[in-house]
Amino acid sequence: MSRYAKYLKNISIIVVLVLTISGGTSLADRLPQGVPENQRISLYSIIETIGPVMERTTIAWQVSDAGLNSLGYPVRSNDEGPPVHRSDERSVQGTSIAYAAYSGYMMSNGGEFSQVRSTMVDTHPQMPGMYNIETSRVLTYESVNGSHLMGGESYVLDVAGQWSYEGDNIACVFSRSGNSVIPAFCNKVTASSQMRSVTSAQVQTSGSLTAVGANINVPAALNYEISVTPNSKSASGYAEGIFSTTFTVSVMEGRSETVTDATDALTKMEDIHNELASTLTAIDTATVAGSVSTFNKVFSYQSGIACVDC
């Protein structure tokens, strides 16, 4: 046995990534409000089979405070069709929009395949620690006559908004006055995993995201975890295949400042709070191949506005 082969047979990888982003009243996401009619979708499945497997799930959800036009963009004053709500100019300036998506697939040309999977979608406005989309999957696979397994999952959460008065989004009776301003922002985060040429493995994944909040204190959130361990039926005692993950964060934030010149104050405030003041990018990738004893990745993202007076 070569030195490289010996290395593969003894590979043991444990990786943990925890990324948390949160901010005060001058920074972070302001989630859009929910719509009057909401939906709950749930899927639970169990598969036990020897033979080919093909499975695919896709979820795409977009919601805006000001309504969506035929292209899926927030309604503005020059768009066709009226917005859902526009009582005054401040409701236009305070528009937030969120795009949330999940996709997953699994495919094999044979072998022993076992899986328990659940998917939940709830479009109701959520409280902190609650989620609009949640998924979990536990599978085991063992090759038969040279068969192999491939699959993947991905989450996307993209939230953006114009500046608004904090008083338009009162979270409690002790919130600051309507003169406090929440600046503009544009934040996108993704989490994904892939597996290829798998001949033996046990894989567990779980994910969740929050895109619509019940009040201004609810942060945007995305969590994902994957764990790869040996199948108990494996003759080698290792998981065999190629496993990879990718996590990305892109944050663009405006700044909240006090306007001292009362002349044309609304226009000056818009210029200040729509000006880019902060950027943050983070990328994490990992790939392991060969004989794997443990591969674990944990990702967590939060971005929200704290009610500092509560």
Q: Which two tokens stand for residue 192?
A: 């994904």
Q: Is residue 308 part of a domain?
A: no
Contact by Cβ (8 Å): 106, 117: no
pLDDT, residue 17, reads 44
The per-residue pLDDT for range 156-173, each reduced to its tens digit, is 999 887 756 554 443 333
Give the model's confidence band at 273: pLDDT under 50 very low, under 70 low, under 90 confident, else very high: low
Token digits for 299? 């990702």
How many domains does the chain contain in total?
1
Structure tokens at 289: 């191949």
- Residue 132 within any structural domain of the chain: yes
Does 309 map to a domain?
no
Give the residue numbers spanning the domain of 102: 3-303
Q: Is the pLDDT of residue 179 over 80?
A: no
- For the chain, how long is the longest CA-to-CA vector? 80
At 34 the pLDDT is 81
Q: How many CB atoms lie within 10 A of CB 305?
A: 25
**Is residue 20 pLDDT above 60, yes or no?**
no
**266: confidence class by pLDDT, cuts 50, 70, 90:** low
**What digits encode the pLDDT tens for the residues 138-157?**
999 999 999 999 999 999 99
Residue 202: what pLDDT? 98
Backbone φ and ψ of 168, nearest 5°: -75, -10
The lowest-confidence range among 75-79, 94-98, 129-133 is 75-79
CB neighbour list of residue 87: distance below 8 Å, 6 or more residues apart: none
pLDDT of 23 higher than 70 = no
Task: Confirm whether 310 is domain-assigned.
Answer: no
Instruction: Tell me what pLDDT residue 282 has.
Output: 95
Q: How far is CA 174 from the centre of its chain?
A: 31
- pLDDT bin (cut points 50, 70, 90) of residue 274 is low
Stated pTM of the model: 0.79
pLDDT score recorded for residue 244: 97
Is 60 exceeded by the pLDDT of residue 84?
A: no
